Amino acid sequence: MRYILPSSFFISTCLLVILLTKFFNCQFTCEHIKNVKYEKIISENATYRYSDHYEYFQTVLVEQPPPVVSGDYVKIEMPTKKVTPKSEFKYYGQTVKELSISNSGAIEIHGEDLIGQISIFQNITFEDTFEVNDKDKFIAIKRKVLKSVYPEEGEVTYMIHSNGKMSLYFNNIPKEIVGENLESWIDYRYKCLDKQNNTVSNHTIEFRFQKTLSKVVLLWSLNRIQKVVS
> pLDDT digit string (tens) for 188-223?
777 777 777 777 777 776 666 655 433 343 455 544
pLDDT at 130 over 80: yes
CB 82 within 8 A of CB 62: no
Average pLDDT over residues 58-75: 67
pLDDT of 12 above 70 = no
Categorize the per-residue pLDDT at 53 as very low, low, confident or very high, splitting at 50, 70 and 90. low
Specify the pTM: 0.69
Q: 98 falls in which pLDDT band (50, 70, 90)?
A: very high
Which DSSP symbol is given to 175? G
Cβ–Cβ under 8 Å, residues 108 and 82 = no
Mean pLDDT of 39-52: 76
Helix (H) or strand (E) holding 159: strand 155-161
Residue 156: how many CB atoms within 10 A of its CB?
23
In this prediction, residue 54 carries a pLDDT of 59
